[in-house]
Amino acid sequence: MITDASGAIKEQRQFDAWGNIVKLTDGAGNVLTAFAILDRGYTGHETFVRRWAD
């Protein structure tokens, strides 16, 4: 759950046991198709995708 300085809910995120997004809504309960505030996942950490050379 992400709130503003006054405590109002701005975004709610629900994840499955593996950290995959299950449901994403704004403070009014409207379904979102992408993160509106932060593009971070379950732990709040940025994920880096590396490509290794053969």
Q: How far apart are CA 32 and CA 7, in angstroms?
A: 20
Question: Model's pTM, two decimal places?
Answer: 0.63
In the chain, how many domains are there? 1
Q: Does residue 54 lie within any of the structural domains?
A: no
pLDDT of residue 51: 54
Burial 1-35, CB ≥16 within 10 A → b, else e: eeeeeeeeeebebeeeeeeeeeebeeeeeeeeeee
Q: Does residue 53 lie within any of the structural domains?
A: no
Tens of each residue's pLDDT in the chain, 54 residues = 888 899 999 899 888 888 788 899 998 999 988 877 777 776 766 655 555 555
Q: Does residue 13 lie within any of the structural domains?
A: yes
Q: Does residue 18 lie within any of the structural domains?
A: yes
Q: Does residue 17 lie within any of the structural domains?
A: yes
- Could you tell me the residue range of the domain that residue 2 belongs to? 1-48
